[in-house]
Amino acid sequence: MTYPPADAGGTDLILTATLLNLDVRQTWKRKLRIALASVLLLVLCCGIWEAAADFEAAAALDPKIENIQYLIGHAHRVALNYDRARIYLEQLIAAQPDHADALAVLGFIAIEQDRLNDAESLLNRAIAIAPDDVSALYDYARLTIKRRDYQEAVRVLGRVVAKYPTHAEAHYQLMLAYSHLKQADKAKAALAEFKRLHVLEKQVFDERRWNEKLRAQQMVDQPQ
């Protein structure tokens, strides 16, 4: 699965999209449906900083919830609890070595912890499994910029914006790469596109968040 990146405010739609699309939703007990819908409301209304504990509580009710280790690990990642996130995600990879989403998140964490060799290995594995995974490609491009391989960054970011033209942060990274390559006109164009998309992204996100809050409330209110 590939989802757009988090908005600038920190709320992450990966969790909400995954939660709303779980195949097992129709078979949940009412208390479990309410628990998970409440987490969704927390994510949408207040950010995701406390969501990991709520996912862990939901898993205690039913440990067979689809993708629950990924949800918990990713929630810890967004809350910047990187070491805690690694525990869940590495356990998941041990059981499912081809879980591309988990590999991509572990790659992101490795970049943030300045473990660049680990990041390269993890992201290459994720991209080999899911070549069109925009998140993995974007983080690989960030890695190449950290290593000052700006030509490679431009190449990979070109793949990102070809698949997801409205990826604002990819255009920002392109601006950085072009600036280091002394290609001022391209850097200026990339920065202008980033600023344009950043405004549109916030408008779309606010609209989507309102719609998903209504859907979450309907899940809470749905009779058994």
| CATH number for the domain that contains residue 118 | 1.25.40.10
Q: Are 131 and 62 contained in the same domain?
A: no
Task: Answer yes or no: do 81 and 129 share one domain.
Answer: no
* pLDDT recorded at residue 9: 33
- What is residue 56's predicted lDDT score, i.e. its pLDDT? 79
195 belongs to a structural domain: yes
Instruction: Quote the pTM value.
Output: 0.71
Q: Give the model confidence (pLDDT) of 35-65 as tens digits.
A: 565 556 555 555 555 677 777 777 777 777 7
First to last CA, the chain: 30
Contact (Cβ atoms closer than 8 angstroms) between residue 174 and residue 190: yes
Q: In whole angstroms, give the CA distance from residue 73 to residue 84.
A: 7
Domain end point (choices 96, 130, 157): 96
CA angle (44 as vertex; 38, 50 as ends), nearest 5: 65
User: Is position 136 within any domain?
Assistant: yes
Residue 109 in domain: no
Same-domain check for residues 119 and 195: yes
Total domains in the chain come to 2
At residue 95, what is the residue type? A
For residue 50 the two structure tokens come to: 């406390």
Same domain flag for 197 and 124 = yes
CA distance 6 to 168: 11
Predicted pLDDT of residue 147: 96
Domain contains 4: no
206 plus 128 within the same structural domain = yes
Tell me, yes or no, whether 1 lies in a domain. Answer: no
- DSSP state, residue 164: -
Give the domain range for residue 46: 10-96
Q: What is the pLDDT of residues 175-211, one digit of tens each?
A: 999 999 999 999 999 999 999 988 776 665 555 555 5
Q: Does 74 reside within a domain?
A: yes
Do residues 68 and 134 share a domain?
A: no
One domain for residues 90 and 126 = no
Domain boundary among 96, 123, 153: 96
- Same domain flag for 199 and 149: yes
**107 in a domain, yes or no?**
no
Residue 172 pLDDT > 50: yes
Pair 84, 132 in one domain: no
222: confidence class by pLDDT, cuts 50, 70, 90 = low
Non-local CB neighbours of 107 within 8 Å, separated by 6+ positions: 118, 119, 122, 123, 126, 136, 139, 140, 143
84's tokens: 């805690």
| Domain match, 72 and 39 both | yes
Residue 119 lies in a domain: yes
